Chains A and B, each alone.
Chain A
Amino acid sequence: MLEGIGNLGATEIPMVIVDTQRSGPSTGMPTKPEQSDIDMLVYGGSGEFPRIVLAPCDQRDCFEVSFQATNLSQRLQCPVIIALDQGIGQNSVTMEPFDLNDLEIDKGKRLSNEEVAAMATYKRYEITEDGVSPWAVPGTPGGMNLVTGNEHDEWGLVSTQAPNRRHMMNKRSRKIDLAHDLMPKARCGGVEGAGIGILSVGMVCGVVREVVERLEKQGLDIEILEPRTIWPVLDETKEFINSHDRTYVVELNHEGQLARLITSQGVATGKIRSIRKVVGKPYRPHQLVAEILERENADG
C-alpha cells in the first residue's frame, strides 16, 4: 500500500485512500477497532512527499470529509488519506439525507481540451508559485505527457540533476505548506473557554462528548476539539493545546501516536496528557470519566 501512496506523491496523481484502522500489528485482531496506523499514514513510504491525512468524527462526517478529501486531492494533486477506524467503518446509523445543494466539485488545475489547445507549451510538472502544475488527462489532444515515480524534470523525463531535484522537492512540499487554509477544520464542543481541553478523532469522539456532559454535571468543565485534519497539524490544533492548562488526548493505541504527532509539531511542554486504550474495545463513558477524574486528582 505504501509503495502505491509514495508513487502518488511522486507522480502527483490525485487520489483518496481510506484506511479503516483495526488492531495490529500484522494480522492483529482484525475484527477489533484501533487507531494505530496514524504514524504509518503520516510518515509511511520511502522518501519524502506531500500528503494530507484527515479523520472524520462519525459516520455523517465521513460524507463531508470524503467530499473535501476528493476536492483537496484534485486541487493539490496529492494523496489524501482518510484515517477511519473499524468502529465507524462497520457501524450503521440512520441519518437525515445529505444536503447536496452547496457542494462544489473542485477540479483544480485540470485542463480542458480548449485550454491545452491555447497553450504554447505544456509541461506536466511545470514549476509554479503554489507548487501545483496544470494537468491534462490522457486523451486530451496535444496534451501528451509522461507521468513517472522517478525524479523528473518539468517534462516528466527522468532526471537526477541536482538543481532540478532541489526545485522538484521544494515544489512538491510547498503544495501543502501553502494550502493549510483549505484543510477541513476541527469540530468544537463541550464548555467553551474551559481551562481543560480534550482532543480525539474517529470513534472516540462520540464517547468524549458523552463524557464531557457527565463531567460538566459533576462540576468539571472541559472544552472539546475534534481535529478533522491530523496532517498537517494545523495551527488551530496547536493553539488549542497552548491555550488550555492541560489537554487530554484520548486515542485507541499503545504509544499515543496522535499525542506524539501533535507534540512533534511544536506545542508548549507539559500541556498534553495522553490517555490510551489498546485492547480492541471502545471506551465506555464511565471508564473514561473515571480515568480523567483519577488523572485530575493525581496531577491536578
Chain B
Amino acid sequence: MAETFTPGNIIWCSGCGHFGVESALRQSLKNHSLEPHDTIVLAGIGCSGTIQNYIGSYGYHALHGRVLPTATGVAAANPALTVIAAGGDGDGYAIGCGHLMHTFRRNPSILYIVMNNETYGLTKGQPSPTATDRADQEHKLDALQMGLTIPGSTFLARGYVGHTQQLVGLMDAALKHVRDKRGFAFLEVISPCTTFNDNYPSWREILVNLDFDQTYDSADRAAAIGNYAELVATGKTPSGLIYQGSATTFEDATGVSAEQPMALQDLSVASHIDEYYKQMDVYAI
C-alpha cells in the first residue's frame, strides 16, 4: 500500500466551531464505514475550505463559491464515490448562492456542509450574507428557508457545534440520504468564529431545536415553511432536521451510473468504432 499524504496541521483558532464540524464528519464517516479512497471532500475558499486537508480522503480545493458545480461534476463522473462538499457562509451564500439554488433544483446525491459563522473569517471579519446588525443594513439571508421554497430540495437540516450529539446524528442522516441516492443533503452548521464574530452565547436563545417538538413533521414541506416563517418573525431559527422528502434526483434524470462510471470508462477507439459506423450509416450521401 503506497504511503500517501499526512493530513496537514489545522489552521483554525482555538475555540473555532469548525473543529466540531471536522470531528463530527470524521465520526460520521466512521459510522458509515466509508473507505478513504471512496470518499472525496471538496471545499470552497475560507477557513472552512481547509477541512479537506485534515480528513485523509481524496480532497479538492475549489474556486471561491464554486464547490457545488464541481461536486456535481464529480458525482456525475463517478456516482460510486461519496461526494462531500464543504464551505462557509461567505463562500456558499454570496458568490455561491446561484449555484446553491440550482443544486436544490438539480438534486444530485452529494452532501453539502456549510459552516455558518456569519462572517468572512479568513479575510478577518467582513459581514457575510448571514450577518446580523451590519453597518450597511443589508437584510439577512436564511439559506434553509430559501431551500424549503425551491422545488427539488430533499434534505434540509441545521446543526450547531455546541450540540455535538445532534450534529453527528444529522451528519449520519445526511450521509445516508446521499448514499441511498435520494439526492442533495444540505446541512448548515452554526460554527462560530471566536476571533472575529464570537457569538457562542447567543445561539442558546436563537436556535429552536425541532428534536424537542413532537408535533413537527419533517416530511410536510408546507408546514415546515409556515413554521419556519413564524420562528424567523420572532428572531429565532430552527435546528435539527427541517425537511426530508423525495424528488427526482440528478442521477435518475441523467442516467449516470455507479456501475459504469463515466470517469472510468474504456475510451479506446476499438470499443466504440462499431457504434460510430452505425451512426454514420444513418446519413445518406
Tell me the bound Cα distance from A11 to B62 in angstroms.
Answer: 10
Q: Which residues of A contact B78 (CB under 8 A)?
A: 138-139
Q: Which residues of B contact A158 (CB under 8 A)?
A: 8, 50, 53
Rounded to whole Å, the gap between the CB of B282 and the closest CB of chain A is 11
Rounded to whole Å, the gap between the CB of A107 and the closest CB of chain B is 8
Q: Which residues of B contact A104 (CB under 8 A)?
A: 269
> Is A117's CB within 8 Å of the partner chain B?
yes
Q: What's the tally of chain A residues with a CB closer than 8 Å to chain B?
A: 37
Q: Is the CB of B59 within 8 A of A147?
A: yes
Q: Which residues of A contact B57 (CB under 8 A)?
A: 144
Rounded to whole Å, the gap between the CB of B48 and the closest CB of chain A is 14
> Is B81's CB within 8 Å of the partner chain A?
yes
Q: Please tell me which one of the listed residues A94, A105, A150 contacts residue B268 in the complex, with CB atoms under 8 A apart.
A: A105
Q: Which stretch in B21-29, B34-42, B117-125, B170-178 binds the other chain?
A: B34-42
Tell me the bound Cα distance from A4 to B4 in angstroms.
Answer: 27
> Is B61's CB within 8 Å of the partner chain A?
yes
Q: Which residues of A contact B203 (CB under 8 A)?
A: none
Q: Please tell me which one of the listed residues B5, B36, B40, B63 contacts residue A155 in the complex, with CB atoms under 8 A apart.
A: B5
Q: Please tell me which one of the listed residues A97, A122, A147 contacts residue B61 in the complex, with CB atoms under 8 A apart.
A: A147
Q: How many A-B residue pairs have CB under 8 A?
A: 100
Q: Which residues of B contact A119 (CB under 8 A)?
A: 2
Interface residues of B (CB under 8 A from A): 1-6, 8, 35-38, 40, 50, 52-53, 56-61, 63, 66, 74, 78, 80-81, 261, 263-264, 267-269, 273, 276-277, 280, 285
Closest A residue, CB atoms, query B36: A144
Asked if A144 meets B58 with Cβ closer than 8 Å, knowing A97-B280, A137-B263, A139-B80, the reply is yes
13 A-B residue pairs with CB within 8 Å: A3-B63, A94-B285, A105-B267, A138-B37, A138-B74, A138-B263, A139-B37, A139-B80, A139-B81, A144-B58, A148-B59, A149-B61, A149-B63
